Amino acid sequence: MAQDATPANVIREAQNAGDDAAADAREEILRRTRESGAFEAPAAKKPAKSADEWYRFNVDVWITNFNSTEFGVYKRSRNKAKSRQFTSDMDVYAEITENGERTGLLGYREELWTKAKGFERRLVFKLFGEKLNWRATMDLMLARSVQETIGARGVAVPTFAINTNDHDQVVYLARSANKWPFTGENFSFFLMDGEQIRFYRIRQDLLSPGRDYSVFDSMGNKIAKLDGRLFTIYGNWKCKVRGDHADNLLLSVLKMFVGMLIFNKSCRRHIKGLARDVARGMAVPKLQRQETDLYMNPRRVR
């Protein structure tokens, strides 16, 4: 008994009693609040889809600007007002549909690609939602692409930087320099999810009738199919991603990759020409600030 009545035991019992009373009071308050209808319990986090389920989306490239997004005398100015990312030279050229409904739009900076030359000619894509809310940007990294192309002894190695509105990571997607004549091309990238890193490879399927690509994880498992339709003038892709990989970041990367495919050949020619001119001393490399910022040391003193 004497041992039970020590000051330490008395204090511990008092603290336990206080904790029990606080817990009872908290439960009582929550009960009354739920009964009053003023409290809504947080929704449970949806479990990830299984590997047997597939997430599907389509990317349809338009032929002309006569579409519901671009058409109209003041349409472009209204679009620019909706999003600061929708610049004056932005050309919306493709739509993304899911379950028969439009859920996204792809655009690129037309004047920057069609009218500029040398290192001022850049390929910049942007992914927007249905209401033109910005979701992601994909930049052709000229300096990095020329560096890799010189290292590959003239084989064009375009490299892209992708940043999205809901992730801190800048995703770098690059074409492989391991390319033999009459063989399919490969691209690769990785995604970070906390401490986890996932590596992916995109392979061109040469034995298919359309412009098809397959996506593999680091263990060689096929996790996505980008099925290019054969009888289209510009491009239409029916895509599916395995459910256990179909998070927002991977979907954004694949949507922008598919949108890049209609520029793929011209992009390779541009990078190969820049690398050739640099090697011959015929070009003065000068980067625009938007690309320079992507190379800056984040730990530098500002």
Q: Over the stretch 212-263, which tens digit does the pLDDT of each residue have?
A: 999 999 999 999 999 987 655 568 899 999 999 999 999 999 999 999 999 9
Per residue, the 3-state secondary structure of 18-33, as one string, reads HHHHHHHHHHHHHHHH
Query: Tens digits of per-residue pLDDT, 128-184?
Result: 998 888 999 999 999 999 999 999 999 999 999 999 998 999 999 999 998 887 788
- Residue 48: pLDDT above 60? no
Q: What is the pLDDT of residue 73?
A: 40
Q: What is the pLDDT of residue 75?
A: 54
Query: Tens digits of per-residue pLDDT, 73-108?
Result: 445 555 665 667 788 888 889 999 998 899 999 999
**What pTM did the predictor assign?**
0.77
User: Between vectors from CA 90 to CA 86 and to CA 96, what angle results, nearest 5°?
Assistant: 80
Query: Tens digits of per-residue pLDDT, 261-290?
Result: 999 999 999 999 999 999 999 988 889 888
Residue with tokens 């239409």: 236
Q: What distance in Å separates the CA atoms of residue 78 and residue 73, rounded to the nearest whole number? A: 10
Q: For 4-18, 187-201, 219-233, 267-281, which range has the lowest pLDDT when averaged over its residues?
A: 4-18
Q: What is the pLDDT of residue 63?
A: 58
> Per DSSP, what are the bridge partners of residue 186?
203
Ranges of each domain in the chain: 55-295
